[in-house]
Structure formats: structure tokens, C-alpha cells
Structure 1
């Protein structure tokens, strides 16, 4: 019995902790920062990918949208004001991967609906 209790306890400790709402907002804010920097640097591909991540992961609430927009604007203005060097494509890609992983934990994307079978889509 003690082994079973120990095993159950260890299993719970090994299970990833549920993300808090603050972690989700933080990840969305960081994604907004990346989006603003990408826009200021003219990297529309990264900005597009950042927006897709927000759409896929963030709850459709004003709070999440405002955090993303505020951080986007702040990063865009800071990049221009500081005349900072733009990150390389590899740096942007690494940051996107990292944020995507954080979002998967903090705000898992809901499953996407399956497209209708080809024979049903053609019959419309």
C-alpha cells in the first residue's frame, strides 16, 4: 500500500503543473513584443506567424487582445526609438519556437475541426 501511495505521489509530481492565467498573459505579451519588433524590422513573415499563434491560442477576450496590442506597440516604438539592430531570421525563428512551446503549455490551442471529406465538399 505504501508503494502505491508513493507511486501515486511521484506520478503527480512528474505531471506538468497547470499554467496560470498570468502565464498565459505573459506569453501573449511576449508574443506581442516579438510581433512589434518584427513589424518594426519589416519581417512580415514573423509578424504573420505571431498573429497566427495569438489567434490559435489566446482566449477571445479583450484582456488578451489588449495585452498583445499594447506590447506590439511598445516594442515597435522601442525598436525605432533605440535604433536597435534587428534580430536575424534565425533569432526570430528561435523566439517563435520558444513562444509557441510556452503557449502550448499556458494556453493549449483547441482542436481544429476536420475539413469535410472531399466528396461532401464537392457536392455543395
Structure 2
């Protein structure tokens, strides 16, 4: 019984770290999806293509991950259109995308 206690502690720690990693990954994907919705609303097609490339190159190809990106994109696109916000210039939006890309890479465990 006492030998299984350290194993249980290790498993609980691993589960906690995995959940934290998954949460960070979902947040980073959501941020990129939000920017994608803005880029779509502002007809910045080159930037939307770039974000798709970032997703394909960075995160696992899993349905739930794609759904997080799509839902964030959809919500952002609708919010942007209904709120009457002014489109950011392409350079500013590209800078925001670069920051989101780095957050996504870190959350996905990509170091190079």
C-alpha cells in the first residue's frame, strides 16, 4: 500500500500538468481563432491563409483542436461584424498573429 502512494502522487501530478498544458493549448488556439475571425471580417485573406498554415504546422491534427479554432473564428467574425469595430491595419494584425503564434508554439511544446 505504501509503495503505491508515490505512484498515485506521480499520476496525479502528471494529470494536473497535462490538464494545464491542454488548457494553455486551448487558450492559444482560441486566441489565434479570434484573430482569424477578425482577419476574415476585414478581408485579410493572406493573413487567414497564414493562420491556417500555423495551425497545420504547430498543433496535432485532431478534431477537437480544429473545433476550438473554428468556434473562436466564428464567434470573433460575428462579434466583429455586429459591433461595428474598425478593421486594424494589416501590419498591426500580422504582429498580433506573430505573438499568438509564439504562444501557440509554446503551448504545443514546439521549441524550434
Counterpart in the other structure of 2:3: none
Whether the 8 Å CA contact 1:31–1:99 is kept in 2: the answer is yes
| Cα distance in 1, alignment partners of residues 109 and 101 from structure 2 | 10
Give runs of aligned pairs for residues 76-91 of structure 1, distance below 5 A: 76-91=77-92
Whether the 8 Å CA contact 1:56–1:109 is kept in 2: the answer is no
Instruction: Find the residue that maps to 1:103 and give its secondary structure.
Output: helix
Q: Aligned residues, how many?
A: 95
Whether the 8 Å CA contact 1:41–1:86 is kept in 2: the answer is yes
| Cα distance in 2, alignment partners of residues 29 and 20 from structure 1 | 14
Counterpart in the other structure of 1:45: 46
1:108 Cα deviation from its structure 2 partner: 3.9
Asked which structure has the greater CA Rg, the reply is 1
Instruction: Find the residue that maps to 2:66 and give its secondary structure.
Output: helix
Whether the 8 Å CA contact 1:57–1:108 is kept in 2: the answer is no
1:106 Cα deviation from its structure 2 partner: 0.9
1:71 Cα deviation from its structure 2 partner: 0.5
Higher relative contact order (CA closer than 8 Å, sequence separation 6+): 2
Counterpart in the other structure of 2:55: 54
What are the ranges of 5 or more consecutive residues in structure 1 without an aligned counterpart?
1-17, 112-124
Deviations 1:30-75 (A, max 9, x none): 1110001100100001111111111111211121111000000001
1:110 Cα deviation from its structure 2 partner: 9.4
Q: Which runs of 4+ in 1 moved over 3 A?
A: 108-111
Residue 102, structure 1, aligned to residue 111, structure 2: no
Whether the 8 Å CA contact 2:105–2:111 is kept in 1: the answer is no
What are the ranges of 5 or more consecutive residues in structure 2 without an aligned counterpart?
1-17
